Structure 1
Amino acid sequence: MTLRVEESADRVVATLDRPEKRNAIDQATIDAIHALCAGLEDDPRTLILTGSGGTFAAGADIAQLRERTPDDARRGINAMAFLRVRELPMPVIAAIDGHALGGGAELAYAADLRIGTPSLTIGNPETRLGIMAAAGATWRLPEIVGEARASELLLTGRALDADEALAWGLVSRIVPAEDLLDTAHAIADRIAANDPLATQHTKRALRAPRSAHPAVELELQAELFASPEKHRRMTAFLERRAR
C-alpha cells in the first residue's frame, strides 16, 4: 500500500507511505490518488495530505520515470492526478515534513493550504535530470509565489528551506514536526465548523480565472443566499448577540 487513507465524517487523512523510497511517487501511488479523489468527489470532505518517515515525497519514482516515453509525457500521468487533487470540492491541506521535491513539490502545490516543519525542503530539480516540472509547477508556482520567484526556482532547480518557504508564502506556517498533524487537524476543525457549501463555493471562487470575476462569486453567493443554512446560521448568530 503506497497511500494510507484514514477516513472520518468530515475529513480524510492520506499518508504517502513508501518510506524505503522516501515516498517517491510511482504509478501505484498515482492510481491510489485517483481512487482517493473519486471518493472525495462523491463525498466531499477536507483532505489532509502528508508523508511517512519524516518525508513528504522526495519526487517521482526515477526508475519508472526513466522508462516513460513521449506518449507517456503527453498523457500527463502525474499532472492529471494532481489536477484532480486541485479540483476537489473541499479544501486540501498539505502537511509537509522534510523533503517535497519534484513531483512531491507539485503535489503540495496542488493543495489549497500548505504547512511545514523546520526540516522542510521544497523545490523542483527536474532540469538536472533532463526533464522539466510538468505536473503543475510552471503555472501553479507563479500563482503562489509570483512569476519572478517561480522562474528562479524552476530555472535554477534550487530548493527552499523552511524559512525561505515561509517568507515567500509557499507555506503559511512552520510548526515543530511533532505538532504538524495536530496543526493540520486544527485547521480542518475550523473548516468543519463552517458551512460546507459556503466553503465549497469559496474554493470555487478562489480557483476561478481572473476573467470570471466578479460574476462567479455573485452567482455562487446567490445560491448561498437561497440556502436554508444561511438563514439558520445568521439567526443563531443574532440570537446569541441578543442575549
Structure 2
Amino acid sequence: MEVLLESGGDRVALVRINRPEARNALNSAMRGQLARIFADLAGNDEIRCVVLTGTEKVFAAGADIKAMADAQPVDMMLRASERDWALIKDFPKPLIAAVNGFALGGGCELAMHADMIIAGEGAKFAQPEIKVGIIPGAGGTQRLLRAVGKFKAMKILLTGEMVSAQEAEAMGLVTEVVPDTEVLDRALELARSIALLPPIAARKIKELVLQGGDLPLDAALVMERHAFQLMFGTEDQKEGMHAFLDKRVPNFKGL
C-alpha cells in the first residue's frame, strides 16, 4: 500500500502518502487508495477529524508524468480520475493537511482539498503544469483562485514557480507555518482539539463554508440560519449549553 491509514489518537485518523521513491507522485493506484480510505472514513462514526500527510521531505510532487506523457484525450477521459478526487472533495468531516517539503501540481491540489493546511518552514507549493504543456486538472485553477485571489493565482499558474511556505501563508493559501519537525504534531494537536467538539456542528460548518462561498450572500445567510436553527435539535447543543452554565467540561456524543 502506497497510502497508509494510521491512528492519530482521540477519534483522529492519520492518512499518510508513502511513495518516497517517486516523491509521492500521485499515480492512479494511489488516487484509488486515497478514495477508498476517505470513503471508509466518511462512514466511520468513531472518526471525527482526519490529518493527511506525506513524508518528512515531500507531501506529494504532483502527478506521475511518465504515466501521462504519451496519453491521448480519450485515455485521460477514460481514467475518470475525477471520481477519486470527488471522495476527498465531498469528505464531510474536518480535514487537515500537514505539509512538509514539496506540494506540487496534483500535490498542491490535494492539499487544497483540506480545510486547513499546516506547513513546515521548508515547504514549497506550486502548480507547474504549464511547464510541461498542460494545465491543472484537479481543481488547481479554481481552488487557488478562491484561496488567494486572481492576481496571486495568475502568477502561480502562469509561471509555474514555487511559492515558499511563508509566501503561501501571507497570501492565504496556508493556515499556519511551523518548524519542519513540528508539522505533524501541530496538525494532530489541532485535529484532536476539533475531535473533542460536537461533530454535527463541525460537519455543518464545513458544509456551509464550502457551499456558501459560491452563493449570493443573502442565499448563503438563509442557508446558515436554517442550519443554526437545526442545531437546537441535537443533544450536543443541550449538553454544550448546560455544561457552560454548570461550569463543567462538555461531553459531546455526536447526537
Return the TM-score normalized by structure 1: 0.93
2:238 matched to which residue of 1? 231
Structure 1 residue 73, shift from structure 2 partner: 3.2
User: Is there any run of 5+ residues in structure 2 with no aligned partner, and where?
Assistant: 249-255
The CA deviation string for residues 83-134 of structure 1, in whole angstroms up to 9 with x for no partner, is 3212211111110000000110110111110011111110111011111101
Kindly tell me: are residues 75 and 219 of structure 1, through their superposed partners in 2, closer, same or farther at Cα, counting changes over 3 Å? farther
Aligned partner of 2:198: which letter? Answer: D
Distance 2:221 2:154 in 1: 29
2:253 matched to which residue of 1? none
1:222 matched to which residue of 2? 229
Kindly tell me: are residues 66 and 139 of structure 1, through their superposed partners in 2, closer, same or farther at Cα, counting changes over 3 Å? same
User: Is there any run of 5+ residues in structure 1 with no aligned partner, and where?
Assistant: none
The CA deviation string for residues 166-215 of structure 1, in whole angstroms up to 9 with x for no partner, is 11111111111211111001110220121000000000000113234012
Distance 2:148 2:83 in 1: 22
1:84 matched to which residue of 2? 87
Instruction: Please give the residue correspondences for 1:61-100 in structure 2 after superposition, counting only pairs within 5 Å.
Output: 61-74=64-77, 77-100=80-103
Instruction: Please give the residue correspondences for 1:24-39 in structure 2 after superposition, counting only pairs within 5 Å.
Output: 24-39=25-40
Identity percentage of aligned residues = 34
Q: Does 1:210 align with 2:215?
A: yes
Instruction: Please give the residue correspondences for 1:1-243 in structure 2 after superposition, counting only pairs within 5 Å.
Output: 1-7=1-7, 10-43=11-44, 45-74=48-77, 77-208=80-211, 209-211=214-216, 212-240=219-247
Structure 1 residue 78, shift from structure 2 partner: 4.0
Kindly tell me: are residues 15 and 154 of structure 1, through their superposed partners in 2, closer, same or farther at Cα, counting changes over 3 Å? same
Return the TM-score normalized by structure 2: 0.89
2:251 matched to which residue of 1? none
Moved more, 38-47 or 124-133: 38-47
1:86–1:112 CA contact under 8 A, matched in 2? no
1:19–1:53 CA contact under 8 A, matched in 2? no
Structure 1 residue 162, shift from structure 2 partner: 1.6
Residue-pair matches, total: 241
2:42–2:92 CA contact under 8 A, matched in 1? yes
**SS of corresponding position for 2:13:** strand
1:83–1:110 CA contact under 8 A, matched in 2? no
**SS of corresponding position for 2:136:** coil
Aligned partner of 2:247: which letter? Answer: R
Distance 1:106 1:233 in 2: 36
Kindly tell me: are residues 4 and 118 of structure 1, through their superposed partners in 2, closer, same or farther at Cα, counting changes over 3 Å? same
